[in-house]
Amino acid sequence: MELRPETRAVHLPQPEITGSRPITVPIYQTSGFVFDDPAVFADAMGRPDGSFVYGRLANPTVRSLETAVSGLEGGVAALATGSGMGAINCVLLGLLGPGDHLVSQKAIYGGTAAMINELVHRFGITVTYVPEDDPEALRAAVRPETKLVYLETLANPALQVADLPGMCAVARELGIVSVVDNTFATPLLCRPIEHGADIVVHSTTKYLSGHTDVVGGLAVFADDALYRKVWHFSVELGATPDPFAAWLTLRGLQTLHLRMERHCSNARYLVSRLAAHPAVSAVHWPGLPSHPSYELAGKLLPDFGGVFSFELAGGRAAGEKFMAAVRLALLAPSLGGVETLVMHPATTSHRSLSPEELTRHGIGEGTIRVAVGIEHPEDLWADLEQALS
Ligand SMILES: *Cc1c(COP(=O)(O)O)cnc(C)c1O
């Protein structure tokens, strides 16, 4: 058939690749896929593991990321989303309904805390908060309508460590789905599924992508039925990531282990210097014997990550002065990138919390949160030290 230019411009020739394949994962920047067989087309619409059909359901670049992280976490499948909150909401909204009860640890990511408040105030879901390391408190909080337990491996900004084996064992015994946000630990420091978790969620915006250039999220499932349930909901919700974002994340993932080594060793060095500084009244990092989670962290984690916080003896005024004085460290939200970022939670990430909620999260007026990058540790200490004086 002789086609006109307008038509030929629409029907581009497909690249043919035979006898070899790309070393890296290509970006499949397409919203949909074409079929030769109508039966295969029909089958692909209803399940996550049929042929690729439409970008909101699945995409080959995105699938590579899902398979890679699922493998690292020891899950059976994963669902990538456009943000960490997208993954968390697919799980919470996909599994909870009106009248259900949720048990959450006390200190959780601010966006998750805000979402749980929405669930309570608008959707008739109830919540009980328990300490992250108290399986008996969890057992006591469970009711017949309890559906889900929500934990974080390492909580922001005081770095409490959840007793994953203890908490997940109680959840499993009582038939409740356990969800663990493993963003701060990454699968290199902790694989919650090995400790009994049913679902692991990530903000891939942070360490997994690692270069402060992409927003993304991911949920990993220990169980295929849970995966399918949440996948169906995610398709309806539309929390899909863009293939390019998935590609950037895959690219970051390849160096995760190298970056994490440096994040951890930089944190270890800086917390030891800060702990000895007269302007600092406390340092929170689970690798320090003074941290309440020190013993549990030693059992659960080979190292303790690149995020820590410290208290300035001078309170809020000292916190504001410190933030104005740092030069190398950047005043910015987020974490997990190669650059060191500092923030003052009381005036930024946690500003909407009441004084009681601030205390629940372990935040004071003079708390500084540091997400250490991969720079040379002496350069970082020189900056923090000049800002402290
Ligand atoms: C950043 C973060 C989230 C939210 O992820 P986004 O990608 O910003 O949506 C959730 N949990 C933790 C622990 C985080 O640090």
Q: Which domains are present in the chain?
A: 38-253 (3.40.640.10), 256-388 (3.90.1150.10)
pLDDT at 350: 80
Site to probe by mutation for ligand 1, drawn from 116, 182, 206 as the one with most ligand atoms within 8 Å of Cβ, is 206
Instruction: Pick out the chain residues at pLDDT < 70.
Output: none
Ligand 1: centre distance to CA 35 (Å) = 37
Name the token pair of 152.
Answer: 């974080």
The SS3 assignment for 148 reads strand
**What angle do helix axes 377-388 and 256-275 make, rounded to 10 degrees?**
40
Atom of ligand 1 nearest to the CA of 156: 13
d(CA 9, CA 167): 58
Name the token pair of 223.
Answer: 């169980």
Tell the residue nearest (CA) to atom 8 of ligand 1.
84
pLDDT at 11: 86
pLDDT at 247: 96
pLDDT at 146: 98
Site to probe by mutation for ligand 1, drawn from 109, 132, 151, 180 as the one with most ligand atoms within 8 Å of Cβ, is 109
Which residues have any ligand 1 atom within 6 Å of their CB?
Answer: 83-85, 109, 111, 152, 181, 183-184, 203, 205-206, 215, 217
d(CA 279, CA 130): 33
Name the token pair of 350.
Answer: 């946690």
Strand-pair category, 77-81 with 217-221: antiparallel
pLDDT at 361: 74
Tell the residue nearest (CA) to atom 5 of ligand 1.
84
Exposed/middle/buried for 105, CB within 10 Å: 0-12, 13-18, 19+?
buried
pLDDT at 131: 97
d(CA 376, CA 41): 53
Ligand 1: centre distance to CA 193 (Å) = 19
Tell the residue nearest (CA) to atom 7 of ligand 1.
84
DSSP string, 326-354: -SSSEE-S---SSS-EEE-GGGTTTTTS-
For 74, which DSSP code? T
Ligand 1: centre distance to CA 270 (Å) = 24
8 A C-beta contact, residue 116 and residue 143: no
